[in-house]
Homo-oligomer: A and B are copies of this chain.
Amino acid sequence: MAGILSFLVPKDKKFFPLFEKASENLKQISAILVEMVNTSSPEKRRELIKEIERLEHVGDAVTHEIFNELSSNFITPFDREDIHTLVSSLDDIVDFIHGSAKRIELYKINEMTPAIIKLAELVQQGADELHNAVKNLRSMSNSSKIREACVKINSIENHADDVFDMTIAKLFEEEKDAVQIIKIKEVLSALETATDKCEDAANAISSIMIKYA
């Protein structure tokens, strides 16, 4: 049906480039996140955290631009509600990536545990799938690919949930220093919440698909 009806989808020239700018930025910041938790050099890590900070500001500016467009345009390519949820979720993912990086720095966590690395990778996978889905929103010709991405993001979130729960449970058993538990829990929780927000974004995209594809 997508093929037949796709001409009905407004060929909006303002919104789609902005959506892609937001998801492209998300893809980039999550790649830096994975690089950052995998480096063993403290200087390199500091540099990468600075880059994450910079990209968070870039994301803020794009979000702001989209909300301005949303408020000043009567006609939007999708339901305002769906756009609002999608864009807020993309912004939230970036914020939680930034939050996890900031905590790693501030709490002086020098050893990146396997769980931190695994969760960072899951965030990146979610971000990549979202970028693919957002790029395909413009033409709507690839609705099966969009749906596939949303399904994958759902299973990524479930996986992250399990990694988080198991790690915290193990931490409670093995780590006797409560302060250390609190610190690690704060970092893992920011990463796990980032995957929750990936799911929120995927849900907004699914909702758009049901209405237009």
Contacts and interface: CB of A to CB of B under 8 A. Distances in A.
Interface of A: 67-68, 71-72, 102-103, 106-108, 165-166, 168-169, 172-173, 176, 178-179, 181-183, 185, 203, 207, 210-211
Nearest to A102: B165
Given A72-B210, A176-B179, A178-B179, 20 more contacts: A67-B203, A68-B210, A71-B207, A71-B210, A71-B211, A72-B211, A102-B165, A103-B165, A106-B165, A106-B166, A106-B168, A106-B169, A107-B168, A107-B169, A108-B169, A172-B179, A178-B178, A179-B181, A182-B182, A182-B185
Contacts of A183: 172
Nearest to A166: B106
A18 to B, nearest CB: 16
A122 B183 CA distance: 26
A88 B32 CA distance: 34
Contact of A107 (B106, B172, B176, B179): B172
Contacts of A107: 168-169, 172
